[in-house]
Amino acid sequence: MGVEVATFIADLQPSLPAPTDPKSQGDNHIRLIKQVLQNTFPGANKAQGGQTVISVAASFTILSTQSGVLFAVNTSPGAVTVTLPSLAGTDAGWFCSFAKITGDVNPIFIVNPASAVMLSGDTVVTKSRRCIFGHTFRATWTGGIWVVDRIPKVPVGTILDCPTNALPVGYEWANGQTLVAANYPEYVYAMGGGGTWDRRGRTAAGRTDMGGANNPILGAWIGSTTLGGTGGLESSTIITANLPAYTPSGGVSVTGGSITASSNLNGISSGGQNFVGGGSITATGQSITVTDTRTWGFNGNPQGGTSQVMNNLQPTIITNMIVVVE
């Protein structure tokens, strides 16, 4: 029978060629198999196979022949430094994977031994830190640059809300501490140093000139366009100077007749009253007799007590804040 038709390995028929096929068709079968292999493994220029897993618990150097290997790293004895192999441009596509399999706080350091650039996300480093466990990440050689996968997919230096009491492995508190540069290469590259923001007891506001002109409202109260600038008060004391200007006024006008008061008014005379115009006023017992039109002005009595502290805090929920450092 004729030679089968196949593009990939799955298309090949294990029962062919038949024993009765002429031997002259053998060359066609061999050529078909070669084409199928090249279609299935395009650009393959090194050994292929199922993924090999190697367990390690100490620092080591990866061999150039270990492409495709998954290294299961136990960091419970201490930090593990992994040195990548020195490769040529023709080795483009070489990769290996890593998984930290222990929940301790010791990191894996991935070191590039050559002068080639190594990218860890959007940071350029010669050493990468990986401390978060339970995730796999890959180091890939592009022919001139190493690319090391990051586990958090947000920018290094991002501050996240964290509702747990314990610090998650692979992150740091946003408490103003200074991180050791040698242990946090991605963070130092991204932030320009090891200092962290102190977010204890502070909410956040957008930078006043973020993406455009300065916002004069926010700028008037904080007075800073610098990242990390602070301002605001938890509380303030209300004093007279904080009150709007206000002058109370008013009066009572009576034309003739009498006014009955709720208490004894004996002794009140016109000379002791704040009134204008002529005429007279006479007080006897609980009655005030007015002979013509009289107007009394009044002055308000002081109200309230001592100056009080006013709460400036907006509706707030308390949470821990952590920094993405790798």
pLDDT, greater one: 49 or 90: 90
Which helix H or strand E contains 27, and what residues bound it? helix 26-40
pTM of the model as a whole: 0.68
Mean pLDDT of the 71-99 span: 96
pLDDT of residue 247: 67
The edge-to-edge listing of strands for the beta sheet with 281-284 is 258-260, 287-290, 281-284
Q: Are 240 and 319 in contact (CB under 8 A)?
A: no
Which helix H or strand E contains 39, and what residues bound it? helix 26-40
Taking 60 as the threshold, does the pLDDT of residue 244 lie above it?
A: yes
Enter the tokens of residue 119: 């990218």
pLDDT of residue 270: 46
Enter the tokens of residue 125: 């480093």
Q: Residue 311: which pLDDT band, with cuts at 50, 70 and 90?
A: confident
Q: What is the 3-state secondary structure (H, E, C) of 159-225?
A: EEEECCCCCCCCEEECECCECCHHHCHHHHHHHCCCECCECCCCCCCCCCCCCCCCCHHHHHHHCCC
Cis-peptide, bond into residue 17, ω within 30° of zero:
yes
List the beta bridge partners of residue 125.
118
Q: Are 40 and 11 in contact (CB under 8 A)?
A: no
Which helix H or strand E contains 30, and what residues bound it? helix 26-40
Mean pLDDT of the 86-113 span: 95
Q: Are 136 and 97 in contact (CB under 8 A)?
A: yes
Using DSSP bridges, classify how beta strands 320-324 and 171-173 pair: parallel, antiparallel or unpaired.
Answer: antiparallel
pLDDT of residue 151: 95
Q: CATH topology for 154-205+315-326?
A: 3.90.1340
The edge-to-edge listing of strands for the beta sheet with 159-162 is 159-162, 320-324, 171-173
Dump pLDDT digits (tens) for 269-302: 444 444 444 455 565 555 656 555 555 555 555 5
SS3 32: helix
pLDDT of residue 274: 42
Q: Which residue has the tokens 């890593």?
A: 98
Cα(70)–Cα(67) distance, rounded to whole angstroms? 9
Q: Kindly write down the DSSP assignment for every residue of 53-109, as one continuous string.
A: EEEE-S-EE--TT-TT-EEEE--TTS-EEEEPPP--GGGTT-EEEEEE-S-SSPPEE
Pick from 40, 169, 51, 167: nearest CA to 108: 169
pLDDT, greater one: 63 or 295: 63
For the segment(s) 53-151, the CATH number from 2.40.10.10, 3.40.50.2300, 2.60.120.640, 3.40.1080.10 is 2.60.120.640
Enter the tokens of residue 212: 């455009």
121 CA to centre of own chain: 17
Dump pLDDT digits (tens) for 203-231: 887 776 777 766 655 555 665 667 777 77
CA atoms in the 13 A half-sphere facing the CB of 82 = 28
Taking 70 as the threshold, does the pLDDT of residue 325 lie above it?
A: yes
Cα(95)–Cα(140) distance, rounded to whole angstroms? 4
State whether the Cα torsion 323-139-73-151 is positive or negative. Answer: positive
Cα(125)–Cα(117) distance, rounded to whole angstroms? 7
Q: Which of these ranges, 101-110, 267-276, 316-325, has the smallest mean pLDDT? A: 267-276
